[in-house]
Amino acid sequence: MDGGWKEAVSIADNLAAVEKRMRAACERSGRKRDDVTLLAVSKTFPAARIDDAIAAGVTHIGENRVQEARDKKPQVGGAARWHLIGHLQSNKAKDAVRLFDVIETVDSVELAEKIDRAAETAGKAQDVLLQINVGDEWQKSGVAPADVESASRQVRALKGLRLLGLMAIPPIGAPEEARRHFRRLREIRDQIGLVHLSMGMSEDFEIAIEEGSTIVRIGRAIFGPRG
């Protein structure tokens, strides 16, 4: 069964196709391909698939759950930077600091303070992104756009953290509808003087690149459909 999966889905071929689309999006928007990091989202896929992706050239891996990363990461032989891109419960901050190079889903100052304490205990400077509720959706976590300036100032003051930028998941809709949310996030980022924007997934990463994304989170287009 495993061999059949590999026959049906070639990670190397998928990655090459994604790279081609990324380069075209960068050209359309007058950007360099090196300006955008490809984050391969490996949730639900086994360690062997992550090694396949790393062997094909992936250097950044994204996982949604601390527990899943805790189980899989020791089995991965290849080297990559690991990003947490799913919701982080505050009681798992210590594990997240131990497992991840970047925590993208810091959705409150309170959570940032928990991560900061865990990072200082671990003797680590933890890279983080602030998650922004860019669509002002009541059911989603994240810092409200109106509060980003204040939140970023407080997070920057924490000695155990390095605030790299902003992350968002726009409201569900047609890919082109995400453009205004990506643009809004870029404007917020520019106002507070940060570098990175983690936005764009398999269905809309080209639009995100055109609007200034520096990190695109791509799972299905690389690993294939999840079972």
The CATH number given to whatever domain includes residue 137 is 3.20.20.10
Domain extent for 89: 2-222
User: Hey, which bits of the chain come out as E strands?
Assistant: 37-41, 60-63, 81-84, 102-106, 126-131, 161-167, 196-198, 215-218
- Please tell me the pTM assigned to this model: 0.95
Establish if 124 belongs to a structural domain.
yes
Query: What are the CA-CA distances from residue 120 to residues 16, 74, 87, 103 (Å)?
Result: 40, 23, 21, 15
Residue 83 covered by a domain = yes
pLDDT digits (tens, 9 = 90+) for 79-132: 999 999 999 999 999 999 999 999 999 999 999 999 999 999 999 999 999 999
Angstrom CA distances, 68 to 41, 164, 174, stand at 12, 24, 30
Predicted confidence band of residue 139 (pLDDT cuts 50, 70, 90):
confident
Question: How far apart are the C-alpha atoms of 129 and 211, rounded to whole Å?
Answer: 18
Structure-token pair, residue 197:
């924007």
Answer left, alpha or beta for residue 30, where phi above 0 means left and psi between -120 and 50 means alpha. left
Distance CA 176, CA 18 (A): 18
Q: Give the bridge partners for 130, in sequence order.
A: 106, 166
- Kindly report, residue by residue over 9-31, the tens digit of the pLDDT: 699 999 999 999 999 999 999 99
Q: How many domains does the chain have?
A: 1
**Residue 227 belongs to a domain:** no
- Whether the predicted pLDDT of 153 surpasses 60: yes
The reply to whether 209 falls in a domain is yes
* The dihedral sign for the CA sequence 47, 6, 54, 118: negative
Q: What is the mean pLDDT of residues 216-221?
A: 97
Any domain includes 8: yes
Mean of per-residue pLDDT scores for the chain: 94
Percent of residues, the chain, with pLDDT higher than 70: 96
CA 77 – CA 79 distance, rounded (Å): 7
Which residue in the block uniquely carries the two structure tokens 């919701």? 87
The greatest distance separating any two alpha carbons of the chain, rounded to the nearest whole angstrom, comes to 52
* Dist CA 75 CA 64 (whole Å): 17
